Structure 1
Amino acid sequence: MGGAITWVTPIAGLVGAFTGASLSPWLTSHLSWRRTRKEAFNQAISALRVAQVARHLPTGVHATYLGGDVAAAEAYSLRLRERSVDRYIDAMSEAKVALAALEPFYRVRGDLDSWEITEPDAERIMRELIRAR
């Protein structure tokens, strides 16, 4: 009985080493793919959410925040709206880029070719991404 264990142990070790060596590249590749996929989903969800938040422009900044000068408040509000629109357009563009980058893993339903994703479409896409993540 002792002789059987003597030769089975090295063979079992070799089989284990061979199996581990053959599965290791596949497992590493698979885990890397899953991590990249998850990061792409997280980036797309985050970028879409930022664009939706940027959609709502700040308005009506009270003059007391700017020292009480009504003319200064109006001028500031105008600059703020202009900056907010620029920020929204940039955020929408980044969201569309993030959604396009998701394509190797998941194809979003909807029109990504127009400059803006409408609020109802953004809400639907957000639900879809969270479900598919």
Structure 2
Amino acid sequence: MKIVIDIENEEPLFSQLIAQIKLAVQTNALSPGAPLPSIRQLANDLEINSKTVAKAYKLLERDKIIVTKGYRGTFVHADAKSNSATDLNAWTHEILAEATGKLRAAGVTDSEIRIAFQACMNNQNKQNIGD
């Protein structure tokens, strides 16, 4: 599998990396159980920051595209192909766009929506810290 990162592209580097790994899974260029390079190795190969690769791997692991097995390495998840069809970012955008539309229709200003959203996020973060 060859990964190519375009630093001139407006799409964030971690998103490019995620998209290419998902595409490799969908086209069977990466099969379940296949090993992936370490974060450090892939960052060096692509000449990008290791934090960028770590972020991509974390999101891919969240989406069950990859699985990290401690010091043994990172591998393609057994259900990666079916899981790669789900796009949480698109779903999140859809839900937020729907809610924003309803709020605007009710006369809520964009500023009020931003303030309410930030308050919700702050409240959620406080609840997660206390758990």
Task: Indicate whether the TM-score tops 0.5.
Answer: no
The structure whose RCO (Cα within 8 Å, separation 6+) is larger is 1
| Max Rg structure | 1
TM-score by length of 2: 0.30
Q: Which has the higher helix share?
A: 1
Q: Which has the higher strand share?
A: 2
TM-score by length of 1: 0.30
